[in-house]
Structures are given as C-alpha cells and as structure tokens.
C-alpha cells in the first residue's frame, strides 16, 4: 500500500532550540517497508509547513493511508490537518498513533476525521491493520492495540504485548531525513542524529508518560545490533555526532560496557551524548563511555529541594546529584542538567533554591522548563483533582509554556521564573568565560550564539 506518515508541527517558541527527528515514525517506516509497503515521511517541524503544502503533497502522491504521530502538544493541529485531508477524499484512511492516542484513545477517536488509532508500540499493530485493509476485512476485533469506530461506537481492542526482542527490528529509515535541518543545543559536531537503543522505563516519576507508551520493563538492543545501526549512520550517512535519546542509557551497565568496547574497536570519527540517571552514575562506566567517544551526559535533576524530589517520585537525593556530577566531571564528560519550575508545592524559596543548585553544580549546560501535566501521567490526574490546570484545551499544552499552577506563587510571577532561571545561569561572567573556553569548532559557536539570542528574545518577549 502507498502510505504517507506525517509528523504534525509543534508551533511554539523554543528557548533551547531542540530540533529532533520523529524517531517513532522513522522506525515505523522501516518496519512497513520491510513488509512491502511504499512509505514516505513528512516532518512538518523542519519543513516550511502549512496545511496547504501538506495537502498539495497528498494530492501529488495520492497515498491510500495517511498516518499521524500525535503528541499532546500537536493534537489539535493534527485533527485540523486530518479534516483538511478528508476534504480531499473521504477514502483516504487516517491512522493516528503515538503517545496521545495511547493515553487518550477515546478523545482521539471522537474526531470524525480519525479512522483508526494505534495504542502503544506501532509496528505490529499497524502492519496487521494494513493487511486487513488490503483484504477489506471488516472484523478487526482481533488486532491488538487497535482502536476504531463501528456503527458510531468506539471500540478499543486489548493492548498488545510489548515487543520482546527489539534487536530484531530493522534499522530506522534515517535516509529519509534532511540531516542538515536537525540540531541540538548541546551538540558539538554536525551532521547530528539521534538514536535509541532501548524502550521502556521501570521508574514512576509522576510527570512522565514513557511507561504508558513503552511499558515499565526496560528492553535494550544487544550491543551488536546497536553497532550495526551506528555503523550505518557513520559510514553511510556521514554522521559525526549521535544523541542517544533513551530515557536512561546506563540502566544496563554491562550491556553499555560491551557496546562501548565495540565502539572503541571500531574507532569511528564519532562523538556521542546520552541521558543518564543520577543514581546509576559510576566512575568506571562513565570512564569507559568517555573512551568510546561520549562527550556529555544529561541528567534529570528537576529540583534543588529534596521534599519536592520525593513528591515527584524521582528516587534520588540531593547528595546523590552532587556526587554524580562530581563523578561525571572526573570522567571528563560535560554535564547537562534538566530542571523543572512550577512543581507541586513549589514556593518562591524552592524555585530560587533550584536555580542556585544548578549554579552550584557548575554544570556545562542547564535546561529549565515549566512542569507540565501531560495526559496519561499521574501529575495530570493530580492537577485535574486539585484544579491546578490553567487552560484545559489541548492546544494550550506546550513544552515551554506554563499551563499549570500548583505552587504558592501568583501565576504571573511564576511565569517570569523561566526567563530568570535561564538568565541567572547563562549570563554569569564566570559561565560566559567558561563557555568561551569550551568552544572549539563552528558548530559550538553557532549553538552558543543561537542559544544566547533565544534566551534574550524570551526575556524581552511580553508575558501573557
């Protein structure tokens, strides 16, 4: 079948200038191509996207199926685009997958323009659905993970078991990407691409929905499977830096060590970075990662207040944070900390404490964002119960906007803290000097200038 997969855009300001490819869709492309389908991909986040341009593309390519990768932050835009597509032809089948249809299946299927939803991991369910559509089968009740409408009634089949051996999945169709258009503020080289070695997370942080999408059991590729993917990225596409965007890269340390051994053996001209967990940081592991080409590691620190960390179910302590950052620096890796502002029970004092903590740690980079109650999370349930949500419309959900106030601060004052956090951290004379000394190529110059301009623009932008 002829299929077009679309990643609808996320229209919002972006202080930190992330631009990552839609890895869920590109993995699905590869799987469906293996099944014999003709699949193309359109990422509206990097194209000069308007609905008209996507409609023109559909008119030109005449796909039988259009699939959307939907998150809560682009849910409303996805439905509007689906309506436009159906105006071309009601015969085009529209399938919605991703996090939002998984956690809010009925809300998604209430749209008259969405024909099917795929809940959870999309490869097997989508492949079975396409076979059924090709054969014009009407009985869809045995396709696990599928949601659809029949006689006006929403039907949600049982969820599908998780894919046990993710090493058996094909290498994602990276060749469909315009590599020059993807970037990360912490990347030191280009071309840059992201990669994931694992799915699932055993931790229960109240603000995270990874478990709902990929389960709470951690599944990781074999080192040998991962090195094949790296080899393709480096030798076929010329990638110079990889960002491993696993929820937790270091959860299976022996696996990571073996993977690093293979990287060292291959001796690629490659840098890479990853996400880590504070209480999994060990000097031997991080040293091996450094030897294998790792240049930086990102940690979810979230808050500088222990009571708030406990309430968020982070299962880390302030002292563990200090020790992990110390070990990471000793291993020769750059440190990146992620923090959230506006957590339940945050006060002016705890927010200021978080900003001071980021400065005290002397991180190489810090990212700050408002705590957001995404659908499907425990935080969302608590926010609804306590009337913390400021705007319940789906289009109000944005990564860098304040849509919840669970603090003791008036909302206008809370909204000013994001700019204050970035300015306090990045515009210290000591940090500016440190950053200048860190720069050693044109990519880092570009990221530094772009990041500074973004922060200044955000500070000057009137707050609604």
173 located within any domain: no
Rg (CA), the chain: 22
Better-scored residue on pLDDT, 443 or 311:
311
Residue 77 structural domain: 2-156
Is a pLDDT exceeding 50 seen at residue 13?
A: no
CATH code of the domain covering residue 131: 3.40.50.280
Residue 21 · residue 85 · CB < 8 Å: no
Mean pLDDT of the chain: 91
24 located within any domain: yes
162 located within any domain: no
b/e map of 163-186 (b: 16 or more CB within 10 Å)? beebbebebbbbebbebeebbbbb
163 located within any domain: no
Q: Could you read off the pLDDT of 61-72 as tens digits, one per residue?
A: 999 999 999 999
**Residue 311 buriedness (CB in 10 A; 0-12 / 13-18 / 19+):** middle
Which range among 51-55, 128-132, 146-150, 193-197 shows the weakest confidence by mean pLDDT? 51-55
DSSP 3-state assignment of 95?
A: strand
Angle, alpha carbons 272-454-185 (nearest 5°): 0
Q: Could you read off the pLDDT of 174-187 as tens digits, one per residue?
A: 998 888 888 777 78
Angle, alpha carbons 455-401-456 (nearest 5°): 10
**Distance from CA of residue 216 to its chain's centroid?**
17
Read off the pLDDT band of 333 (50, 70, 90). very high
Read off the pLDDT band of 453 (50, 70, 90). low
Question: What does each C-alpha distance from 364 to 326, 334, 383, 421 come to in angstroms?
Answer: 12, 6, 33, 15
Indicate whether 12 and 139 sit together in one domain: yes
**Structure confidence at residue 9 (pLDDT):** 82
Strands (E), 328-416: 334-341, 365-370
Indicate whether 23 and 121 sit together in one domain: yes
Q: Could you read off the pLDDT of 226-249 as tens digits, one per residue?
A: 999 999 999 999 999 999 999 999
**Structure confidence at residue 17 (pLDDT):** 52
Token pair for residue 154?
């929403």
Read off the pLDDT band of 12 (50, 70, 90). low
Indicate whether 124 and 196 sit together in one domain: no
In terms of DSSP H, where are the helices of 138-271? 210-214, 223-231, 253-266
Indicate whether 241 and 134 sit together in one domain: no
Indicate whether 200 and 310 sit together in one domain: yes
Q: Could you read off the pLDDT of 152-165 as tens digits, one per residue?
A: 899 999 999 999 99
- Cβ-proximal residues to 94 (8 Å cutoff; 6+ apart), any chain: 65, 66, 67, 68, 82, 85, 86, 113, 114, 115, 116
Better-scored residue on pLDDT, 20 or 360:
360
CATH code of the domain covering residue 402: 3.20.20.70
124 located within any domain: yes
**Residue 420 buriedness (CB in 10 A; 0-12 / 13-18 / 19+):** middle
Q: Per the structure, how many domains does the chain have?
A: 2
Indicate whether 216 and 344 sit together in one domain: yes
Domain-terminating residue out of 140, 156, 172? 156
Which range among 47-51, 266-270, 310-314, 375-379 shows the weakest confidence by mean pLDDT? 47-51
Q: Which residue has the tokens 């009337």?
A: 387
Indicate whether 64 and 119 sit together in one domain: yes
Residue 382 · residue 355 · CB < 8 Å: no
**Pairwise CA distance, residues 301 & 323, whole Å:** 12
Average pLDDT over residues 323-338: 97
Q: How many CA atoms lie within 13 A of 157 on its CB side?
A: 21
Read off the pLDDT band of 439 (50, 70, 90). confident
Indicate whether 303 and 193 sit together in one domain: yes
Read off the pLDDT band of 286 (50, 70, 90). very high
Instruction: List beta partners, residue 155.
Output: 148
Average pLDDT over residues 426-441: 83
**Structure confidence at residue 186 (pLDDT):** 77
Q: Could you read off the pLDDT of 292-330 as tens digits, one per residue?
A: 999 999 999 999 999 999 999 999 999 999 999 999 999
282 located within any domain: yes
Indicate whether 87 and 203 sit together in one domain: no
Indicate whether 306 and 442 sit together in one domain: yes
Q: Could you read off the pLDDT of 101-132 as tens digits, one per residue?
A: 999 999 999 999 999 999 999 999 999 999 99
224 located within any domain: yes
Indicate whether 44 and 80 sit together in one domain: yes
pTM of the model: 0.90
DSSP 3-state assignment of 167?
A: helix
Indicate whether 145 and 205 sit together in one domain: no
Q: Which residue has the tokens 């990552």?
A: 20
Better-scored residue on pLDDT, 174 or 15:
174
**Pairwise CA distance, residues 448 & 434, whole Å:** 12
426 located within any domain: yes
């Amino acid at each position: 079948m002829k299929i077009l997969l679309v990643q609808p855009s996320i229209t919002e300001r972006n202080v930190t200038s992330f631009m990552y490819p839609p890895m869920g869709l590109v993995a699905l492309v590869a799987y469906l191509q293996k099944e014999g389908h003709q699949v193309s991909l359109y990422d509206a986040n990097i194209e000069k996207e308007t609905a008209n341009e996507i409609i023109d593309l559909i008119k030109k390519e005449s796909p039988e199926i259009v699939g959307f990768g939907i998150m809560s932050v682009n849910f409303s835009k996805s439905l509007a685009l689906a309506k436009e597509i159906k105006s071309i032809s009601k015969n085009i089948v529209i399938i919605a997958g991703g996090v939002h249809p998984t956690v809010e299946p009925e809300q998604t299927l209430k749209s008259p323009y969405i024909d099917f939803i795929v809940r959870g991991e999309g490869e097997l369910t989508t492949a079975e659905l396409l076979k059924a559509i090709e054969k014009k089968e009407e009985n869809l009740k045995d396709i696990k993970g599928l949601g659809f409408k029949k006689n006006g009634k929403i039907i949600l089949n049982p969820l599908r078991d998780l894919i046990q051996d993710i090493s058996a999945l094909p290498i994602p169709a990276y060749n469909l990407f315009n590599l020059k258009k993807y970037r990360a503020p912490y990347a030191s080289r280009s071309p840059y691409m992201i990669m994931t070695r694992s799915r699932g997370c055993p931790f229960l942080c109240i603000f995270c929905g990874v478990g709902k999408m990929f389960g709470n059991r951690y599944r990781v590729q074999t080192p040998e499977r991962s090195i094949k993917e790296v080899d393709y990225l480096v030798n076929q596409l010329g990638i110079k830096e990889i960002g491993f965007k696993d929820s937790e890269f270091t959860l299976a340390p022996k696996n990571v060590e073996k993977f690093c051994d293979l990287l060292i053996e291959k001796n690629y001209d490659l840098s890479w970075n990853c996400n880590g967990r504070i209480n999994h940081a060990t000097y031997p592991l991080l040293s091996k990662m450094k030897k294998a080409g790792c240049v930086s590691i990102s940690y979810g620190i979230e808050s500088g207040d222990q009571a708030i960390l406990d309430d968020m179910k982070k299962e880390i302590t302030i002292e563990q944070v200090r020790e992990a950052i110390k070990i990471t620096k000793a291993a020769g890796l750059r440190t990146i900390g992620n923090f959230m502002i506006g957590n339940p029970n945050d006060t002016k004092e705890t927010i200021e404490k978080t900003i001071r903590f980021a400065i005290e740690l002397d991180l190489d980079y810090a990212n700050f964002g408002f705590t957001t109650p995404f659908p499907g999370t425990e935080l969302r349930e608590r926010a609804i119960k306590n009337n913390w949500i400021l705007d319940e419309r789906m289009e109000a959900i944005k990564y860098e906007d304040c849509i919840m106030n669970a603090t003791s601060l008036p909302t206008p004052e809370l909204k000013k803290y994001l700019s204050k956090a970035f300015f306090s951290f990045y515009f210290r004379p000591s940090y500016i000097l440190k950053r200048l000394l860190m720069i050693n190529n044109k990519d880092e110059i570009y990221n530094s200038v772009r990041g500074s301009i973004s922060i200044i623009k955000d500070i000057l932008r009137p707050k609604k």
